[in-house]
Amino acid sequence: MTRSKFFISLIALAAFATSTSNVMAQRPGGGGFGGGFSPVMLVVMESVQKELALKEDQIAKLKTLGEEARKEMQGGGGPGGFGQDLSADERRKMMEERMEAARKLNEKYKPKIAEILDEKQNERMKQIQMQAMGSRIYQDVDVIKALDLSKEQQDKLTAANKEFEDKRNEMFRAAFGGGGGGGGGGDMREKMREMTEANDKKLAEILSKDQSAKLELLKGAKFDVAQLRGGFGGPGGGGGRPGAEGRPRRTNSGDKKAEEKKAD
């Protein structure tokens, strides 16, 4: 794994891990890498760059920023890899430290990215980021203010998300924490999809019709966030239709011939 891919993978794990933590359920507006896909992550993704209609000079500047962020993240020290040789508590501590470093890094680079993008691009970036937040969008301070969520609504939304995250954590602990090398495959993805849909419905019912309509306006035109799961490589790293696991499928000539022969 190259250093660049390692860095992006690490940030992706940090975003996912924090999204499943109770910290986010307790602290509104906890954006950054932990609050979903941050601007630092999004601007290096080819699908986002196309959506924002970035110019070549903008892409070059953002690439430079991405390299700076990568070097700064790597310069933070800590054990290499993902801590395969560490105990569960040591891995948890390592990930918490890296997530905290990622959040600080995001806050540093957000204004730099905003200077490179124009007003329209910054607005669309915010919309894509909101859509990528999923259920955590209700914890964003700007969203809370825009929707004028009452304290009662905020409490209900927080409780529902915490219940969902606890169930999700338990599912992942059962799948990956038993030393069996992971598992679940399609069954786990399907269960996760069902859990997410049920939680989204539960959260939506807490909002009024006016609040729901306003939220849709805030999120803007629908963006296929499934592209983000396979877009970490930026230009040259994606392409093609997402596979069953959300990663771009690569088809070489040998695979193509084998498929044609099978079809015959």
DSSP string for 212-237:
HHHHHHHH-S---THHHHT-TT-TTT
Spatial distance between the Cα atoms of 90 and 128, rounded to a whole number of angstroms: 34
Residue 80 lies in a domain: yes
Q: Alpha helices of the chain — where are they, by DSSP H? A: 3-19, 22-26, 39-42, 46-51, 56-74, 88-116, 119-133, 141-147, 151-176, 185-204, 209-219, 226-229, 253-263
Over residues 125-183, the pLDDT tens digits come to 999 999 988 888 998 898 999 999 999 999 999 999 999 988 888 888 887 765 444 45
Residue type, 131: Q
Q: At 199, list the tokens.
A: 């939680």
Residue 74 lies in a domain: yes
Q: Nearest-CA neighbor of 34 among 23, 47, 45, 19?
A: 19
Residue 40 lies in a domain: yes
Q: Nearest-CA neighbor of 147 among 138, 136, 159?
A: 138
Question: What single-letter DSSP state applies at residue 247?
Answer: S
Tally of domains in the chain:
1
- Looking at the whole model, is its pTM more than 0.85? no
Residue 109 lies in a domain: yes
Residue 153 lies in a domain: yes
Spatial distance between the Cα atoms of 164 and 23, rounded to a whole number of angstroms: 14
Strand partners, 248: 242
Q: Is 105 exposed, middle or buried (0-12, 13-18, 19+ CB in 10 A)?
A: buried
The span from the first CA to the last CA of the chain, in angstroms, equals 38
Residue 257 lies in a domain: no
The predicted pLDDT at position 218 comes to 95
Torsion angle of the four alpha carbons 80, 231, 138, 185, in this order, in degrees rounded to the nearest 10: -70
Residue 264 lies in a domain: no
Residue 47 lies in a domain: yes
Strand partners, 236: none
Domain span at residue 64 reads: 3-249
The predicted pLDDT at position 6 comes to 42
Q: At 155, list the tokens.
A: 């409490």
Specify whether the CB–CB gap between 11 and 33 falls below 8 A.
yes
Q: Nearest-CA neighbor of 48 among 119, 107, 121?
A: 121
Q: At 100, list the tokens.
A: 């905290």
Where the chain has pLDDT below 50, the residues are: 1-35, 77-80, 179-182, 231-259, 262
